[in-house]
Amino acid sequence: MNRPDSTAGHDYPGRPDAWLRACFEQRTTATAALLAVHLLWLLGAGRPWGCIGGDTFAWQPGSGVAHNSQHLADWYALLHGGFGIGLAWALRTLRPRWQRQDAWLVALACSTVWEVVENTPFVISLLDNTTNMAPDYSGDSVVNSLADTGWVLLGFWLAWRMPGRWALAVIVLLELTVSLAIADGWVLTAFRLLAGLLGRGAVALAG
């Protein structure tokens, strides 16, 4: 008896994607592995489980460094949701034959990579925000970082069938909302990262 082809609906151009095909076929294992890497990295980096200022809330109750990026949700949750929307649009456009569950796994991987990079001492030092109006930042709590990935996946799932123009409109709206609310956002963060890198490069050259 012929077995059903479990890769039907995937878009595999050839042997270079064999590892990706294996991940899709073992989606549950791959998901657990990504979550384990995320959690172990945060714990290994010494990130606290919850808010360093005390109780952990559903929504960030204050704007100080003791509360920023420490709770289940805050203004940055909107940015992560927008990131998920952007990933859904990009993956649906670039890989239209992929199943939603497979694209969801790639979105999870993208979010995991960002959360790991964001919570490295080097990036934390670039985003400390002590010289601008954005909230002070000293790294995420474990609860906040995992929740951020949850917001990415929620945005992805809600936007999978969303027309591209609507996806772009929602992303811009979320970016503007957060920028006006707390003087921060993906665009402003990118500028600060670039400025920080250039500034450190100039200091290194001068030394």
> Cα–Cα distance between 141 and 57 in angstroms, integer?
12
Q: What is the largest CA-CA distance in the chain?
A: 72
> Length of the chain in residues, anyone?
207
Query: What is the token pair recorded at 40?
Result: 């172990």
Q: Tell me the pLDDT tens digit for each residue of 127-175.
A: 876 656 677 788 999 999 999 999 999 999 999 999 999 999 999 999 9
What are 59's strand-pairing partners? Answer: 73
Residue 141 burial (10 A CB sphere; 0-12, 13-18, 19+) = buried
pLDDT of residue 202: 59
Query: What is the token pair recorded at 174?
Result: 């979320």
Q: Tell me the pLDDT tens digit for each residue of 14-71.
A: 444 788 889 999 999 999 999 999 999 999 999 999 987 778 889 987 666 678 888 9
pLDDT at 194 over 60: yes
Quick check: 192 and 131 in contact, CB under 8 A? no
Quick check: 111 and 102 in contact, CB under 8 A? no
Angle between helices 100-118 and 18-25 (to 10 degrees): 100
> Cα–Cα distance between 181 and 164 in angstroms, integer?
26
Query: What is the token pair recorded at 192?
Result: 């600060």
